[in-house]
Every structure is written in structure tokens, then in C-alpha cells.
């Protein structure tokens, strides 16, 4: 699994930063969280591919998080995308997209399925993972998202199975699926040759929000949390006025949620570089990094 930051600026782009967008690549599928204006340029630079299986999740209806969908749709059509595209967001997103798709002649070459999120909870259920949402605290209705992989089967002890005389093939598969098998009058228990389930990866993405106890609980135990850090803490009053978070607040929530690693993002254009924000957050949480446009993060399975 990889995470690619496609835009890390808040409100307006800068020379170095595009508007909000985070991509997660998992088993050939692309999960895109938010799509700020012009994000398709970094999408192309990152080599993510315009015709892969893909889902898009939009946190809220501020332009720096959703307007880029229009350009992305147009670019995908021009490049001949054929696969259906799944888009998830609040009711206003569907209204926004359908109206613009009616007015603008996109010439779409693929089906677009727009799914309305009406309440908190699980948004997508797939065989290997689920995506859920939680209410964020922003100046307009907004959502935070969490990706949870299913637990993987435990480690299969091939050497032990061979010593027990079990032939390769269907019996191996049954043991790996948790089924006991019988061979030559002997019962071999799956639990004796397969280790305990191994946890999947857990990733949280805040969107725009003030920190809340509800979000701290929602992100509990994430391996990675991407949380907005629009301001340094000396601009707390500005954060309160605009319903954003400071680096200190992001780190405090990450510590409360016991997340393993915190990525700060959504930086105000007033910050040419982010080392002071990372330093501020690192005084609270021990594993903090600043997101950068086109930064690629490899996400290993938990050890």
C-alpha cells in the first residue's frame, strides 16, 4: 500500500503546493480523498493512471476540496478512461456534479456513479477493506474518513505441514482458511499450523475540522493519521474563527487517539516551509512528518 499526497495547501494554491488531495494505492485500486482545483496535474505527475479501478471520497463542499473533480473527469475522458468511477460525498456533492456535468460538455467515456452519504458509519464494504466516515467540525457540514483493512490470515507453517505428511493442494487451502483436515486417518487442526490473524492497516484522513473527542475516538489506533494543520498554535484564534486546527491540536488529538504516525497537511499559504509546525507537533507526538506535494509514503503491514 502507498499513500501519495497530491495537494497540501489550504484555501489557495502556492508555488510549491496544490490544493487538498490524498491518494491511497491498494492492490491495484486507487482511493482518492478530496480533489482540490487543479489536482489532476499532480495526479498525472504521480503516474497514478487514469483508467484504474478508483473510488473518490469528498470530505466537504468547499472549493479547495471538490472543484478539482471537474478537471479530473475531463482529463480522464480525454485520456479515454473506460472503467466506471465511484464518487462518495454528501448530498450537495451530487447536486454540484450533476449540474456541472449537464452544463459542461465533458464527453465522458465512462460511467460515473455518485453515492450520497446520508449518515456516519460504513461508506464502502469490500472484501479486503472498508471505508467509514465520521462527522467533522467545520464551518459547513464535513466528514472525516477512515480506511480499515480486514485482518489477514495468520502465518501458514509450511514446514510443519510437510512434516505432518499433508500433500500440497486442496488440503493446504482448507487449512489456510481455518478448516481442520483429515489425512490418512489423522486430523490436523488449522490452529496448529496457522498462526493468529494478522491485523490489516488503518489510515485516518481528517479533511477540514476542529479537533474533537469524537474524532479522537474515530481515529483510535490508526497506523497513519493525516490531519489538517492549517496554522501554528500562535494562530489559535484564527483557527477557531475558521474552524481549522493548529499543529499542536493535531498532535494532541493524534496522541489521544494513540496513532502510530501523524502527517500534517492543509497548510496556510503564510507558511513557506513547515519545519516549525513539525517541531511544534513533535513536542507532543513522537512520530510527526509534514506532507509535501508528490510525497510517496509506503505503508507496511503492522509488525
pLDDT at 188: 84
Distance (Å, rounded) from C-alpha 188 to C-alpha 182? 6
- Residues of the chain predicted below pLDDT 70: none
The 3-class secondary structure across 35-99, one letter per residue, is CCCCHHHHHHHCCCCCCCCEEEECCECCHHHHCHHHHHHHHHHHCCCCCCEEEEECHHHHHHHHH
pLDDT at 195: 81
pLDDT at 251: 98
Report how far apart, in Å, the C-alpha atoms of 21 and of each of 24, 69, 72, 222, 279 are. Answer: 10, 10, 12, 19, 24
* Burial classification of residue 71, based on how many CB atoms lie within 10 Å of its CB (0-12 exposed, 13-18 middle, 19 or more buried): middle
pLDDT at 80: 93
Q: So which residues are the catalytic ones?
A: 64
The single residue listed with the C-alpha cell 477493506 is 129
pLDDT at 261: 98
pLDDT at 240: 98
Instruction: Name the CATH superfamily housing domain 2-152+198-298.
Output: Ribonuclease Z/Hydroxyacylglutathione hydrolase-like (3.60.15.10)
CB of 242 closer than 8 Å to CB of 277: no
Task: Give the domain ranges of the chain.
Answer: 2-152+198-298, 158-193
Amino acid at each position: 500500500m502507498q499513500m501519495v499526497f497530491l495537494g497540501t495547501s489550504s484555501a489557495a494554491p502556492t508555488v510549491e503546493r496544490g490544493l487538498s488531495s490524498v491518494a491511497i494505492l491498494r492492490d491495484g485500486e486507487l482511493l482518492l480523498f478530496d480533489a482540490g482545483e487543479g489536482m489532476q496535474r499532480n495526479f498525472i505527475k504521480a503516474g497514478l493512471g487514469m483508467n484504474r479501478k478508483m473510488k473518490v471520497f469528498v470530505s466537504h463542499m468547499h472549493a479547495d476540496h471538490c472543484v478539482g473533480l471537474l478537471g479530473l473527469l475531463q482529463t480522464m475522458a480525454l485520456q479515454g478512461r473506460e472503467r466506471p468511477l465511484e464518487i462518495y460525498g454528501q448530498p450537495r456533492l451530487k447536486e454540484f456534479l450533476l449540474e456541472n456535468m449537464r452544463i459542461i460538455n465533458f464527453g465522458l467515456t465512462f460511467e460515473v456513479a455518485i453515492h450520497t452519504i446520508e449518515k456516519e458509519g460504513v461508506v464502502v464494504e469490500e472484501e479486503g477493506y472498508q471505508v467509514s466516515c465520521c462527522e467533522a467540525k467545520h464551518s459547513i457540514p464535513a466528514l472525516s474518513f477512515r480506511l480499515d483493512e480486514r485482518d489477514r490470515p495468520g502465518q501458514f507453517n509450511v514446514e510443519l505441514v510437510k512434516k505432518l505428511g499433508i500433500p500440497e493442494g486442496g488440503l493446504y487451502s482448507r487449512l489456510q482458511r481455518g478448516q481442520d483436515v483429515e489425512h490418512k486417518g489423522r486430523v490436523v487442526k488449522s490452529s496448529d499450523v496457522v498462526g493468529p490473524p494478522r491485523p490489516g492497516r488503518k489510515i485516518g484522513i481528517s479533511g477540514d475540522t476542529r479537533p474533537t473527542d469524537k474524532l479522537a475516538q474515530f481515529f483510535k489506533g490508526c497506523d497513519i493519521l493525516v490531519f489538517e494543520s492549517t496554522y501554528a498554535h500562535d494562530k489559535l484564534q484564527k483557527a477557531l474563527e475558521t474552524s481549522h486546527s493548529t499543529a499542536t491540536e493535531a498532535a494532541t488529538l493524534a496522541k489521544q487517539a494513540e496513532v502510530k504516525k501523524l502527517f500534517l497537511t492543509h497548510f496556510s499559504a503564510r507558511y513557506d516551509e513547515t519545519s516549525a509546525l513539525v517541531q511544534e507537533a513533535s513536542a507532543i507526538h513522537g512520530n510527526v512528518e509534514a506532507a509535501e506535494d508528490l510525497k510517496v509514503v509506503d505503508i507496511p503491514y503492522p509488525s
